[in-house]
Structure 1
């Protein structure tokens, strides 16, 4: 058996058609030894069966793990890590496809830059145009003075600029995160207190605090169906703010975190005049973004499946 260079890790949740297209693109473009670990987060039986049928006819090194509860993004990926043996971990959304030998390009970049531990690719949208795959970490400067001033202070590039060379960035998109496995494990991996959203801000921050760098590598390219694997609704929007609250109280002192949360409350108050959903989100904010309303606590455990 070949030594595994790359462990692709992805999550399927009632979106097996997307996952199959991702698998096809990995098989088409990846030229170095790899494995693919798919964590199915308690999908419907028919969706799981569709994916299982496809994998059964494929080459080795594709593993499907059936999770009996939807444990969310962070915990789902950490379940996948338990089965990963690669020198590098490539966490990639199942609603993406590789457009070139993305994994090899990202691996070579890390091999050539020993102070870099996390990289991402250029993301293209449905129209074939450049889509942002990096951003700034939340800060008082950003919230009070705007992105432009914050970027001038911290020297990170705008997410609207089409970068043509590898560039240091502060936070990368959770849809495409390529890690040195050793550093990922040293910092403890994803924080499973996040159910959905803000995992990328948190782990990017912890990479930088470990004195490692994060790079955007434009030669590596992927396509991403924006929102293809997550349906937006009020519960999903609430989940974002629950995660955001956890993020800022984790990484800022109490006065700063409280003020940042107040700014969110003020923004939601202004939006509450637009529609019913805006009012509901503002009332949710007034209750302090209670964690007990997280989707985490609305999951049920599936009975043992008869699907092989």
Structure 2
């Protein structure tokens, strides 16, 4: 039995995965296993991972179909053999003993269901690690009003903290769970292909009565800040996931107000460029799921 199962999903970024594994090795004292799920990368990229095949505490799983972020992580979870599960993006690097710290936090306080470390970019600048769950009050009247009417303290994610705090949503790049909590809430909802998984998971942990926490003393680099051009299909996928999220967690009035907000947001942006115009047109589509990237995935031969 391991102390922690670390699960990561690789998609055509094997060098990142290998670098992440090396950082785990150098910064972790616990007895851990690493489960790498290759989400139907090119054969060339997959073969780069063969160097880890014969390492005892590392398991490599090849999916011949891109299952998306949620599906890939759930495939890895099926192989996990510990009471604590760390879903860790492959484009991350441990700065300090992140896994040891999060493990101790959960051991010391069994009311923590999900906890996440402080993230930094590749230039060692702190980045946003936690945020608020979508709300009608915030979307229409701003954070100040939402904070004023909140029934529990809402922390400012721009400030620095010294101790663990309770938050609403943590970053999907690094989510450390009690296994029992993760199983009790049903794990990742695999109907999300990309985006909004962390909002959904964090909300379900909170609804179960356990805490979602931010640990400012555990430090992790997340390399997602690399510059990329706008991609219409990826931005469209966010809209698909966001609509699913609000349909799942809000009643009729609130979910439609949140949809109205995003409708108005893209309406005002529609004349700025062609991508925004196409995204606005897409919001008017009734059956958004049929446009998901999930439907474009093809099974590979190897």
TM-score (norm 2): 0.96
Residue 227 (structure 1) shift: 5.0
Residues 155-166 of structure 1 mapped to structure 2, 5 A cutoff: 155-166=153-164
Aligned residue among 14, 17, 20 for 1:19: 17
Equivalent residue number for residue 272 of structure 1? 270
1:290 and 2:251 equivalent? Answer: no
In structure 2, the residue matched to 1:302 is: 300
1:44-123 matches, cutoff 5 A: 44-52=42-50, 54-56=51-53, 59-123=55-119
Q: Distance in 1 between matches of 2:74 and 2:228?
A: 19
| Contact preservation (8 Å) 2:121, 2:223 | yes
1:191-213 deviations in whole A, cap 9, x for unaligned?
Answer: 11100000000010000000001
Contact 2:53 2:60 in 1 (8 A): no
Greater shift, 144-153 or 197-206, is seen at 144-153
Secondary structure of 1:164's match?
coil
Superposed structure 1 runs of 4+ greater than 4 Å apart? 227-232
Q: How many residue pairs get matched?
A: 300
C-alpha change, 1:232 and 1:73, in structure 2 (3 Å) is farther
1:221 aligns with 219
Instruction: Please name the residue that 1:151 is paired with.
Output: 147
Instruction: State which drifts further: 150-159 or 4-13.
Output: 150-159
TM-score by length of 1: 0.94
Residue 225 of structure 1 and its aligned partner are, at CA, apart by 0.6
Equivalent residue, structure 1, for 2:176: 178
Who is 1:43 aligned against? Answer: 41
Task: For residue 226 of structure 1, give the secondary structure of its aligned residue in structure 2.
Answer: helix
CA RMSD in angstroms comes to 1.5
Is the Cα–Cα contact under 8 Å of residues 10 and 38 in structure 2 kept in the other structure? yes
Distance 2:4 2:156 in 1: 30
Task: Indicate yes or no: 2:112 matched with 1:124.
Answer: no
**How far did 1:86 drift?**
1.3
Q: Is the Cα contact below 8 Å between 1:245 and 1:289 reproduced in 2?
A: no
| Greater shift in the superposed pair: 282-291 or 25-34 | 282-291
TM-aligned CA distance change 1:230 to 1:47, over 3 Å: farther
Q: Tell me the distance in 2 between the aligned counterparts of 1:113 and 1:152.
A: 29
Alpha-carbon distance, 1:56 to partner: 3.8
Question: Is there any run of 5+ residues in structure 1 with no aligned partner, and where?
Answer: none
The 2-side partners of 1:110 and 1:242 are apart by 34
CA–CA distance in 2 between the matches of 1:152 and 1:73?
Answer: 35
- 1:24-65 Cα offsets, whole Å, 9 max, x none, are 10111110100000100000000000122x3146x3111110
Q: Which ranges in structure 2 are unaligned for 5 or more consecutive residues?
A: none
Alpha-carbon distance between aligned partners in 1 of 2:176 and 2:158, rounded to the nearest angstrom: 21
Deviation track 1:151-170 (CA, whole Å, cap 9, x = no partner) reads: 34332211111222111101
